[in-house]
Amino acid sequence: MKLKKNQQQIFYFELIVLLAMLSSLGALTIDLQLPAMPDILASFGLHEANKQQWIVSAYMLGFASVQIIYGPISDSVGRKPVVVFGLLVYIGASLWLLVADEYWVFLLARGLQGVGAAAARIMINAITRDFFKGDEMAKVTSLVMLIFILVPVFAPTVGSLLLWLGHWHLILYVFLGFGLVVLLWAWFRLPESLAEYHKKPLRLGRLKTTFIQVVTEPLAIVFGVVSGVIFSGFMAYLNSAEQIFANLYGVPDKFPFIFGLLALFFGLAAFINSRVVMRFGAMRVTLFALLALVVVNGLHLGLMALYGGLPPLWLFVSAVALINMCVGLVFGNVMAIAMLPLGAVAGMGASVIGSISTLIAAVMGIAISQQLDGTLWPIALGFAGTAVVSLLLVSRYKNAVPNKRNLTATT
């Protein structure tokens, strides 16, 4: 099946794969470097393990800081120019990483990578909303996640292989190559999804009006917040994953394989969601997944108490697998619900919601993971607390979501 926008065509499956590649930019930039974080820290003469968490957090803070501007610009100039600009920034930042000679410079370059990748991430939401809406958007988001999940599954193993072959700088060349491939693909094949008659002048007054329209839409803001809160527990785990498996459990060689195995549960959740969301609706699936998440986290806390904050490795891995599956069911759906009322201002909407979601996840994630102190209590409490808050928010606003019949449509 072909999709057509502005006299340009792209195959349905090709669009999904390209969106997955754009989405994978962030996962690759984080996950490929996870096995190398102790080496990176040591190469700058640093040895305090918690400092390596900033390699992830610097990227995420850069990622969050500029999302608010990309959407409004894309509403004026189109989606494709913003994607191309972001990829060029990402490639430039990857070159800067290669020559960084101090840790703070390295972290600045990581932040700039996030600035570039944010353009791709925001445009994924806007482009998807330009083509689809409601449950169909949730389905496409899940299909994108199915392909995207291959990156966190294999990236740590590839990163370990690159470390075995040579210096950790080899990983930076992969960033460069991936960025170039996606840039060329987007340049030649991605249609401009924003119709010419929907483009709006880049004027301060109009931006203010559009911004107010987004932030005064309760459904969009609440579910944007939920997206950030639910992801912040996972961000805390992501920040500290290498430390957990290498330092607390003493299995650094198994870390890439365990991390990849756990990522598969996101893929399983995406597959299940793509099959059921059109039947049951994004809201019902989200509520079920959040209820399951609260129950799983309650059991996880019980295990933590039973084993003094450090349960056996197989129990911890099992708990995180179930948590990942529940979060995977929730994440794409809450983003689709948040974007539902913003079809006319999808660019600004994607920016505002993306900024809220990512900033919450980045700040809460680093705040939780920095408490890591020899037990897993901070991570377990972070998972549990964010699940409960998310469930309370969704339960409070569930009746504001249109019914399944109104959600299921395409544009």
Give residue-wise pLDDT tens across range 229-241. 998 998 999 889 9
Q: Are strands 8-11 and 408-410 parallel, antiparallel or unpaired?
A: unpaired
Distance CA 81, CA 172 (A): 25
Phi, psi of 55 (to 5 degrees): -65, -35
Residue 396 CA to residue 391 CA, distance in Å, equals 8
Whether residue 124 has pLDDT greater than 50: yes
- Position 402 scores a pLDDT of 63
Q: Which two tokens stand for residue 117?
A: 């990748």
Q: What is the pLDDT of residue 54?
A: 93
Q: Look at the pTM and tell me if it is higher than 0.85.
A: no
Query: Which tens digits make up the pLDDT trace of 265-305?
Result: 987 887 888 788 878 888 899 999 999 999 999 999 999 99
Q: Which helix (H) or strand (E) holds 203?
A: none
pLDDT digits (tens, 9 = 90+) for 77-110: 999 999 999 999 999 999 999 999 999 999 999 9
Question: What are the boundaries of each domain within the chain?
Answer: 11-403
9 against 28, higher pLDDT: 28
pLDDT at 407 over 60: no
DSSP 198: G
pLDDT of residue 2: 80
* Placement of tokens 């930076």 in the chain: 172
Do residues 220 and 156 touch, judged by C-beta distance below 8 A? no
Highest averaged pLDDT of the listed ranges 28-42, 116-130, 336-350: 28-42
CA distance 44 to 145: 35
Q: Which long-range contacts (CB under 8 A, 24 or more apart) does 401-404 make?
A: 401/219, 401/282, 401/283, 401/337, 401/340, 402/134, 402/340, 403/281, 404/135, 404/280, 404/281, 404/283, 404/284
What architecture does CATH give domain 11-403? Up-down Bundle (1.20)
